[in-house]
Amino acid sequence: MRAMRIAFYAPLKPPSHGTPSGDRRVAGLLMNALARAGHRVELASTFRSYDGKGDPARQAALRAQGRELAQHLVGQWRAGPGAARPDLWFTYHVYHKSPDWLGPGASAALGIPYVIAEASYAPKRAGGPWALGHEAAREAIARADLVLSPTLYDMECLAAIVGGRARLMQLPPFLDTAPFRAAAQARAAHRARLAAVHGMDTGVPWIAVAAMMRAGDKLASYRRLAAALAGLADLPWMLVVGGDGPARAEVAAALESAAPGRARLLGAVPLAGIAALFAACDLCVWPAVNEAYGMAMLEAQAAGIPVVSCALRGVPDVIEDGHTGLLAPADDVPALAQRVRSLLADPERRAGMGRAAAERVARERSLEAAAARLRLALAPLATGAPAS
């Protein structure tokens, strides 16, 4: 396959953004995987098209800025040496709140393929406060030469816009497994350190959580977690939470009310620390309210612990129910608690699922596996001569 120069763009949050998030992390992982697939990847722009409030005037202004910037980029590439021009435009994460105002126009002007990784389209948003972004997302998805979707759930919604499955492929969630493998090998040391610093009993199971603390779906997940744990007071366990944010006080209050004295809130934890946190624990529990798929739950499995969550949206693409974890029906807190109970009470099953989880992530969800999928997916788009 011919190596390509790829212009990479993430309209929601670029990989160079100063605030950590799952979106920023996935953008960086995609750039890394594309490079490992043999391509030269360059960040085309850090322009953010995100409008979180549903402000039509702001959306119109962002559209104007984006289109002007796309014209500027095209002009630069046309004026520069041909070898510096991209052979393909690759956009990560397109949806109604963060449409792509750059990629469709720039790729059309340069005559190069246009690819989207992770797109979502909700017909219910038509005509609402994000109408402009909603229609722009639909047009970008329909125009794309290839749409890569992390979940089967999203693929079902996208098939009608893309025009069947010929231009729609799954690229499952993936990560760099190295820090998680290393953390799992040093489990005893990580567990001893956490126990010493935070006064934890190493003789009981530890439940891990790693999530930002903010209003909305994250806070709703924390509250459902608290409700589930409240019914498990008869069993010995402790909760270890990595994460921080403006809703920390509400999260702390909910967890303390549900399980007095059992939660340890570590605050914001860097990636290396997240790997150590998961490796030191025995299972991860997260209700995943409205989450696309949940990178933290993939990280937990990479560190060798099973995950208990709910079967909604793309979560089943991350957790293999009964093999690498357990899934409760969506919004069913008692069922979630029952599945946590079953693993807390069965250390052998818990350990076996943790081993299976680490093996599956290493085999199917590593950077190397993603690079191989991307190499195959992009090969049909790399058969022509370099863009002129």
Which CATH code for domain 178-364? 3.40.50.2000
| Residue in this structure with the two tokens 């860097």, named with its chain if needed | 270
| Residue in this structure with the two tokens 């160079």, named with its chain if needed | 16
If you average pLDDT over residues 20-48, what whole number do you get? 94
Kind of pairing between the strands at 283-285 and 206-210 = parallel
Fold for the domain defined by 5-174+366-382: Rossmann fold (3.40.50)
User: 283 pairs with which residues across the strands?
Assistant: 207
Q: Which two tokens stand for residue 34?
A: 């594309």
Same CATH fold assignment for domains 5-174+366-382 and 178-364 = yes
pLDDT band, very low/low/confident/very high, at 1 (cuts 50, 70, 90): low
Q: Could you read off the pLDDT of 287-321 as tens digits, one per residue?
A: 999 998 999 999 999 999 999 999 999 999 999 99
The amino acid that residue 329 corresponds to is P
Q: Could you read off the pLDDT of 187-237 as tens digits, one per residue?
A: 999 999 999 999 999 999 999 999 999 999 999 999 999 999 999 999 999
| 271-280 helix and 187-198 helix, angle to the nearest 10 degrees | 90
Asked if residue 321 lies in contact with residue 311, where contact means CB atoms within 8 angstroms, the answer is: yes
Q: Could you read off the pLDDT of 112-171 as tens digits, one per residue?
A: 999 999 998 888 777 889 999 999 999 999 999 999 999 988 888 898 898 767 799 999
| Exposure string over 60-76, b if 16+ CB within 10 A, otherwise e | eebbeebeebbeebbee
Question: Percent of the chain having pLDDT more than 90?
Answer: 85
The SS3 call for residue 184 is helix
What single string gives the DSSP state of each residue in 42-83? Answer: EEEE------SS--HHHHHHHHHHHHHHHHHHHHHHHHS-GG
The pTM (predicted TM-score) of the whole model is 0.90
Q: Round the CA-based radius of gyration of the chain to a whole number and report it.
A: 22
Residue extents of the structural domains in the chain: 5-174+366-382, 178-364
pLDDT band, very low/low/confident/very high, at 17 (cuts 50, 70, 90): confident
CA–chain centroid gap for 363, Å, is 19
User: 95 pairs with which residues across the strands?
Assistant: 98
